[in-house]
Structure 1
Amino acid sequence: MILQGNDPHCSPSFSFGHRLRRQAWNMVYVLLFRPSPRPFHAWRAFLLKLFGARLGKGVHVYPRAKVWAPWNLELGDHVGIADGTTLYNMALIRIGRYSVVSQGAHLCGGSHDYNSRNFQLYAKPIVLGEHVWVCADAFVSLGVCIADGVVVGARSLVTKSITQPWTVHAGHPARQIRLRTHHLQESTS
């Protein structure tokens, strides 16, 4: 998918086939996905699946969510992707069941090697566990895995994986600020 050793100043970073596929998706996004009414979640899921997304049941992807490459998207059952979210999935983005990515959040699966002569583009997957909430305007960087039940606070920056489940993280960079206890109360009741 990503060409190696190219000169990004005068040549593309992706193969012709990939660029063609992206243009087809961009046209479908602009003409059919983006203008669809908010409650038409099944329609948008159909369009994403048409381009290779793997989606569970009850997925709600809102019309102003930006998905860079549907073929690199995997959403579990009952996942919500809000308006204004950016899923820059140059590599796989996998989001577990019952997770929510809120307005303005950015999951960024690609970057550049600023030490390479050609500013080489590269990508790494992002994996969110189940029951994860990425709050409004948070940024999750490439290669990050987030454990089940984690909340990433609004406007937080996540550059490293979060391995402790059922915790709340916030800040720049995000750090653990508390535990989530709701799941503990349910399991002891």
Structure 2
Amino acid sequence: MPPMILQGNDPHHSPSFSFVHRVRRQLWNMVYVLLFRPSPRPFHAWRAFLLRLFGARLGKGVHVYPRAKVWAPWNLELGDHVGIADGTNLYNMAMISIGRYSVISQGAHLCGGSHDYNSRNFQLYAKPIVLGEHVWVCADAFVTLGVCIADGVVVGARTLVIKSIAQPWTVHAGHPARQIGHRTQHLHEVMP
């Protein structure tokens, strides 16, 4: 459990996150609204600088577009040449790691947090999400906490991923996701 999440609290009367975490998030929100979101689309290096300033670990050539929402940059790791489209939501209460040459398309939601609906206090909890290299999460797909996705996997548009996908270079779609095909790996081997 990430240390920022308070345990055993009453979320109806008290915060779910530590004071330090709430302050850090407010600082990031101000930077996001004032400097990140209004930046011109081609200013990828500027947005990468802002994310790194708040603790993100980013590879070279990363393209995070201005209307992508990153909940906590310090819980974000992107490999080289990753693309994060406008309208994506990286709700990274725990670490989200995305491998080289992967693309997260418009409206996709990677959700690293949830609640224990059987607990007395509706306990908040988080788990990491790990995507391999050359993964494509298509438009409006939803990937839930604790999921790992192997290299080369395509997650189809509006697909719901609730379990890890271990078979590399496969295509998945549906609610919940199921394998519907294979992807040609050799097309991607020319990239360093």
Q: What's the TM-score, normalizing by structure 1?
A: 0.97
Identity %: 89
Q: Does 1:98 align with 2:110?
A: no
Q: Does 1:162 align with 2:172?
A: no
**Structure 2 runs not aligned, ≥5 long:** none
Report how far residue 35 of structure 1 moved. Answer: 0.1
| Partner AA of 2:80 in structure 1 | D
Q: Could you say which residue in structure 2 is the equivalent of 1:78? A: 81
Q: Could you say which residue in structure 1 is the equivalent of 2:145? A: 142
Report how far residue 48 of structure 1 moved. Answer: 0.1
Identify which of 114, 118, 122 aligns with 2:117. 114
After superposition, give the CA deviation of every residue in 1:116-152 in whole Å (9 maximum; x if it has no partner): 0000000000000000000000000000000000000
Identify which of 4, 13, 16 aligns with 2:7. 4
**Structure 1 runs not aligned, ≥5 long:** none
Q: Does 1:26 align with 2:34?
A: no
The CA distance in 2 between the partners of 1:65 and 1:180, in whole Å, is: 27
The CA distance in 1 between the partners of 2:134 and 2:58, in whole Å, is: 16
Q: Does 1:180 align with 2:189?
A: no
After superposition, give the CA deviation of every residue in 1:25-51 in whole Å (9 maximum; x if it has no partner): 000000000000000000000000000
| Partner AA of 2:137 in structure 1 | V
The CA distance in 2 between the partners of 1:47 and 1:65, in whole Å, is: 13
| Partner AA of 1:30 in structure 2 | V
The CA distance in 2 between the partners of 1:164 and 1:178, in whole Å, is: 11
How many residues end up aligned between the 2 structures?
Answer: 186
Q: Does 1:127 align with 2:130?
A: yes
Q: Could you list the runs of 4 or more consecutive aligned residues of structure 1 that deviate by over 6 angstroms after TM superposition?
A: none
Which secondary structure does the structure 2 equivalent of 1:107 belong to? strand
The CA distance in 2 between the partners of 1:43 and 1:186, in whole Å, is: 28
RMSD value, Cα: 0.9
The CA distance in 1 between the partners of 2:141 and 2:47, in whole Å, is: 24
After superposition, give the CA deviation of every residue in 1:145-171 in whole Å (9 maximum; x if it has no partner): 000000000000000000000000000
Pair 130,11 (structure 1): closer, same or farther in 2 beyond 3 Å = same
Pair 185,26 (structure 1): closer, same or farther in 2 beyond 3 Å = closer
After superposition, give the CA deviation of every residue in 1:39-90 in whole Å (9 maximum; x if it has no partner): 0000000000000000000000000000000000000000000000000000
Q: Could you say which residue in structure 1 is the equivalent of 2:41? A: 38
The CA distance in 1 between the partners of 2:174 and 2:109, in whole Å, is: 15
